[in-house]
Structure 1
Amino acid sequence: MALDFSIGIIGSGMLGAAIAEALWRAEPQALFVANRSGKAPDIPGFPAENVLTDPQALADRCDVVILCVPPAAARDLRIDATDKLVISVMAGVPLAELSRISGSLRVIRAMSSPAAAQALAYSPWFASDAITEQDRARTRALFEACGQTDELHDEAQIDLFTAMTGPVPGFVAACAAAMARHAEAEGVPPEVADRAVRQLFRSAGEMMTEGPTPQAHVQEMIDYAGTTAAGLVTLRDNGFGACLAEGLAAATRKSREIY
């Protein structure tokens, strides 16, 4: 579906700016941003007149309103977006609260990431009962411009994805950093370790984009019983998966406490 509707983004921090860049590239009917400073996003050709300081003025002009302010700022945010589609990418703000903030029953709670600027984000979303099929189509089109998307049927899972896929590179960077530290401890120059790990994770990401699942890749290597298998079995037997799950669970709990 083409973005043949007007879109407004309230809040233009890192995530808001990344989504704005993705949507601008997808050529919406019109794109507006609102922030307190009136600062335009760093997007070549973005019209200065489409940058507003009044969230209500933005809501009045747009078919779809995206809420993208920090959760703490959301406590004082109020707009009248009755009969508009309102989409939130604010961490931890529950669906019921979105209707109170916006006055709309047609609300969607979602999560995305700054990778949207490169159309590489994963943006899952959960819809209120009042959402129409047109709303669903528009939401899919909007998030497909940012990367990949799925509709979820359990609101609690939005908090999980806030922890898992929202903070790109997040947990993936933690794994990369640990590997680089190990190489340095073995005497590899830091710049070489950094370059090697960056290229490894770039190639791994490309290889896992299509084809077997990550789980299947791991099992393939274990079954091959080579050098990598020895390392993977050691990680498995020493609780690598359980430790990572604990980290994800802690981040998920924080998402539920942040608002």
Structure 2
Amino acid sequence: MVSRLKVGIIGGGGWLGRAVGAALLGKGVVAPAGLVLSSRSGRVKGFDAWPEVQVTSDNRQLARQADIIVLSVRPEQFAAVAIDAPDKLVISFMAGISLATLEACTGSRRIIRAMPNAAAQIGQCYTPWFATPAVDVDDKTFTQAMFETCGSADEVDSEADLDYLSGLVGTGAAYPALLAEALLSHALARGLPRHIVENAVHGVVVGASQLLGRDGMVPAEMLKAMFDYRGTTAAGLQAMLDGGFQQAVEAGLDAADAAAQRMQARFAKTGQ
């Protein structure tokens, strides 16, 4: 069912704002005339098929027109947004900007913080989100529907959970890319042709990883099956674990969580 509410995406010219806007239109959640995008240039690529979509460079104008305001900008750009939205639903994609700061800077009590990622572009994004008490059932229903146009989503229990998940899912393809680069580097050092190595790594990181979740297969079950087979995979897995793989992953997630906390403290202190 197409929402009758007008949605405005501040930062609609960025990759994430464009992806969410296109998904809302493509899945019929929002009508073209019900979408407003803002960008500093006043232009947004990729919306030629929807001429009724309004594009502006004026965030204040967008805030006046929209019933729902999506903040899809970098945290360091938030200070320049300067909108007044006391009666609006505000949905923020910014890591490290707390609900309290968002309320103080927008005047709205209906705030949702969410953490989508780059996979929104291919409809494979998982988005956790958390809402203030003033957000009602209709607001939550729309929010869930919006994120499901790009993949899947869950409402989480606390803002602290959302901050932690920002470092887990907000990274998008970065963690798989780190694994892929390590595999690629090692294989190239053995003298294999680059095109062979690239195809092999893609087959592991992108292709074979899709087996996770098939037929109810969870990671622990897959690992047990590989260890029980006692072959080359088991040897490789054990060496990685003995080398501190688990500890490195935990350290990375802890560091990302700490960075989110520092960002919140910094923005709260400056009032931006």
**Amino acid in the other structure paired with 2:80:** D
2:248 aligned residue:
243
After superposing the two structures, state which structure 1 stretch, 220-229 or 116-125, moved more: 220-229
- Distance in 1 (alpha carbons) for counterparts of 2:17 and 2:135: 23
- Distance in 2 (alpha carbons) for counterparts of 1:49 and 1:93: 28
2:21 aligned residue:
20
- Distance in 1 (alpha carbons) for counterparts of 2:43 and 2:70: 17
- Distance in 1 (alpha carbons) for counterparts of 2:211 and 2:3: 31
Shift of 1:59: 1.8
8 Å contact from structure 2 (residues 47, 53) kept in 1: no
**Amino acid in the other structure paired with 1:55:** N
- Distance in 1 (alpha carbons) for counterparts of 2:237 and 2:157: 34
Q: Secondary structure of 2:84's match? A: coil
2:191 aligned residue:
187
Shift of 1:3: 4.1
**Amino acid in the other structure paired with 1:176:** A
Compute the TM-score of the two structures, normalised by the length of structure 1: 0.93
Deviations 1:58-77 (A, max 9, x none): 12222211011111121233
Distance 1:60 1:205, change over 3 A: farther
1:200 aligned residue:
204
Shift of 1:4: 4.4
- Distance in 1 (alpha carbons) for counterparts of 2:54 and 2:23: 16
Q: Which one of 99, 111, 117 corresponds to residue 113 of structure 1?
A: 117
1:253 aligned residue:
258
- Distance in 1 (alpha carbons) for counterparts of 2:75 and 2:184: 34
2:270 aligned residue:
none
Q: Secondary structure of 1:75's match? A: helix
Q: Which one of 63, 67, 70 corresponds to residue 67 of structure 2?
A: 63
- Distance in 2 (alpha carbons) for counterparts of 1:100 and 1:3: 28
- Distance in 1 (alpha carbons) for counterparts of 2:197 and 2:259: 32
2:181 aligned residue:
177
Counting aligned pairs with the same residue, the percent is: 37
After superposing the two structures, state which structure 1 stretch, 187-196 or 88-97, moved more: 187-196
8 Å contact from structure 1 (residues 19, 114) kept in 2: no
Q: Which one of 79, 90, 114 corresponds to residue 94 of structure 2?
A: 90
Aligned pair count reads 259
Q: Secondary structure of 2:212's match? A: helix
1:165 aligned residue:
169
8 Å contact from structure 1 (residues 10, 66) kept in 2: yes
Q: Which one of 33, 43, 47 corresponds to residue 43 of structure 1?
A: 47
8 Å contact from structure 2 (residues 84, 107) kept in 1: yes
- Distance in 1 (alpha carbons) for counterparts of 2:197 and 2:50: 40
Gaps of 5+ in 2: 268-272
- Alpha-carbon RMSD across the aligned residues, in angstroms, is 1.7
Gaps of 5+ in 1: none
Q: Which one of 127, 131, 138 corresponds to residue 131 of structure 2?
A: 127
1:10 aligned residue:
10
Compute the TM-score of the two structures, normalised by the length of structure 2: 0.89
2:156 aligned residue:
152
8 Å contact from structure 2 (residues 71, 92) kept in 1: yes
Q: Secondary structure of 1:60's match? A: helix
